[in-house]
A and B are shown apart, each in its own frame.
Chain A
Amino acid sequence: MVIFSGEIERIPAVPAPEKIKLRTSGVNLFYGTFQALRNISIEIPAQAITAIIGPSGCGKTSFLRLFNRMNDLIHNARVEGSVELDDMPIYDQNTDVVELRKRVGMVFQKPNPFPMSVFDNVAFGPRRHGKDNRKELEEIVERSLHRAALLDEVKDKIHESALSLSGGQQQRLCIARVLAVDPEVILMDEPCSALDPVATLKIEDLMRALSENYTIVIVTHNMQQAARVSDMAAFLMMADDKTGELVEYGPTNRVFTNPKDPRTESYITGRFG
């Protein structure tokens, strides 16, 4: 059951020999004594969409949050191994987390606009980073909303509460809010799980359009979505005492049509998960 597959222009899913944007090697993540990720080494290409799939609780979200150090907010989280953005270490004492998060934006599972106007939501990031010229902010907001394919819909209510928008619009607003900071990487944590199919399709179209300029990493539960939008796919696995193991990683086409690992195959064909 592939919904809307015909309407999306697929980019040839051969991994272009582009440069690597994000790289992890031998990463272990612990929450206290619980190990959430095991020895993960992966190279994520720039200007492409990489999907992270796997059953619930396998550490997908934890993995995603490695890249903007959101795990820092969790008490007693500990990271071993190296995570790099453009060959710069992310987990280094001298890394400025604020600078990192400006370059690596994040969209969350549930649309979470601030209880402010549409304008203030999009302008939130730029304002925090020192832009307070009204004219400049207006330009940024307009450009970001346009890129997030939301401008036409909210043009007339830019100063109304963001909470009055529909769920799909709110999620695109959250994307616009990230774009306003002008990041290089956008992390998306199941961005469509709270949305209906039409809103989902819009976000997926948007992701494809954005992938020309941004590196996108998306966590998804939805196999069809991963197959539809991603260039690369990583399959994380959870088994008895082995939460957060990277089972398979490669071009989406190959992972979905010719998986090397039998566990990947049985997950994709829906035998579990």
Chain B
Amino acid sequence: MLGTDAKSILKSIKALPFRKKVLLPVRILSDSRVPIGAKLVIPGLLLYLIMPLDLIPDFIPVLGQLDDLLVIILALGLIVRLCPPQVLHELVLKLGQTSSPPAQPKNQSGGRNPRLLKRFRLGEKIMELFIFGNGVLAIVVLVGIFGLLLKEGLPIFAHTPFWRFLFGDKWYPVSSPPTFGILPFLVASLMITVGAIIIALPVGVATAAYLAEVAPKAIRESVKPLIELLAGVPSVVIGFVGLLVLTPLVRNVFHLNTGLTGLTAAIMLAFMSLPVIVSVSEDALSMVPNEYKEASYALGATRWQTIVHVLIPAAISGITAAVMLGVGRAIGETMTVLMVAGGALSVPHSLAEPMRPMTATIAAEVNNAVRGGLQYQALFAIGAALFLITFATNLIADVVLERQKRRFQT
């Protein structure tokens, strides 16, 4: 495939000492005559070498490095084919001749670059690539997870049409014939999450405002870490507390048949999302510029007015982020809701009824489901729906925040 030109170039590249070989890509990248396609091969190669995703994983000794070697050789061949041969030849020759980088013609300005030519900075590019690679990795993982959920979950729609799956109110996975309608779980998840946030939001923001603006320094510095510690309590333990303490309380206060209800779960989830809401909101509130506060106080506003009309509006993006994190925690929480929500399979009409959210459904049934069977597929489809809901919540929050920000920027 390679012409004689290319062969002789490859030979002269082989003849170069190792240090020069390393320098060659740099020269190629910084030469304006090299077409962009050939230049792109080099970062692509680096990316492959850096990224943990490999044809053969790197941690396998010898064999793991084989694919890297192969890719390097392939990339070299690609560059030789994409570059104009004269240019490449010249570059290789230049490297071979001088032991130092090609000497600049000396002039009055000493060793300076006399024509202010653009310079290639290797360290800069490597860092850029590394950061870029990490960003790509996060997206790859995200897409991978969603892909997996879809792959395992989508086949269920051959059995139950999409809309019937989403809005069907009967979930009988083991009857014959089985029916898969996830409306009860969808509604339960929604009710419990909204309920949890309705409880957690005012409490959380008020606590944050107290810590940020009212509490003396000593209290702030001791209470905040304590609240954050709460986030580390395992959800099973929280579930126990819910069972022992809250369940009888809810039953007696609301005169219900059972204390295992959506409301119980919502209260426990509110409790669990409080730490992140308080912590992130407090950070946002403390970061409001002092000038705003001073301006407000100097106009005769009281502390309460300053908090409500200046601090919270100025920190609203941070507070929204805090609430989104809280929602994420609440909607994804499994163990606690499994223990205290009651687990009823019918569509709930109020928070005071037993119900079973999506996460609890997956956790409760995944061990009994036959791998690859209909129930198994349906559970994965629930997972995909959960993923989409979380994704959409975050997306909406982002858009709202962006709009909010833009409204008051210069």
Name A's B-contacting residues (CB within 8 A).
68, 70, 73, 75, 98-102, 105-106, 108, 110, 112-116, 124-125, 127-129, 161, 163-164, 174, 177-178, 181
Contacts and interface: CB of A to CB of B under 8 A. Distances in A.
B408 A101 contact: no
Contacts of A108: 291, 294-295, 298
B100 interface: no
A128 B298 contact: no
20 contacts: A68-B298, A70-B298, A73-B297, A75-B217, A98-B302, A100-B300, A101-B299, A106-B298, A108-B295, A112-B289, A112-B294, A114-B295, A114-B314, A115-B313, A115-B408, A161-B408, A163-B409, A163-B410, A164-B410, A177-B299
A157 to B, nearest CB: 12
A129 B295 contact: no
Nearest 3 Cβ contacts at the A-B interface: A112-B291, A101-B300, A106-B298
Contacts of B305: 128
B409 A101 contact: no
Contacts of A101: 297-300
B162 interface: no
B297 A70 contact: yes
Contacts of B299: 101, 105, 124-125, 128, 177-178, 181
A90 to B, nearest CB: 14
Contact of A102 (B293, B300, B409): B300
B407 to A, nearest CB: 7
Contacts of A105: 298-299
A184 B149 CA distance: 69
Contacts of A113: 295
Interface in B298-357: 298-302, 305, 309-310, 313-314
A191 B376 CA distance: 70
Interface residues of B, number: 23
Contact of A129 (B217, B300, B408, B410): B300
Interface of B: 217, 289, 291-302, 305, 309-310, 313-314, 407-410
Contacts of B410: 161, 163-164
B294 A70 contact: yes
Given A68-B298, A73-B294, A128-B302, 19 more contacts: A75-B217, A98-B301, A99-B300, A105-B299, A108-B291, A108-B294, A108-B295, A108-B298, A112-B292, A112-B294, A114-B296, A115-B313, A124-B299, A125-B299, A127-B309, A128-B300, A161-B410, A163-B409, A163-B410
A128 B305 CA distance: 7
Contact of A174 (B217, B295, B296, B301): B295
Nearest to A73: B297
Nearest to A96: B300
Contacts of B309: 124, 127-128
Nearest to B405: A115
B309 to A, nearest CB: 7
A189 to B, nearest CB: 10
A178 B289 CA distance: 19
Contacts of A124: 296, 299, 301, 309
Contact of A116 (B289, B293, B408, B409): B408
A116 B295 CA distance: 13
A178 B295 CA distance: 9
B294 to A, nearest CB: 7
Contacts of B217: 75
Contacts of A99: 300
Given A98-B300, A98-B302, A116-B313, A161 B407 contact: yes
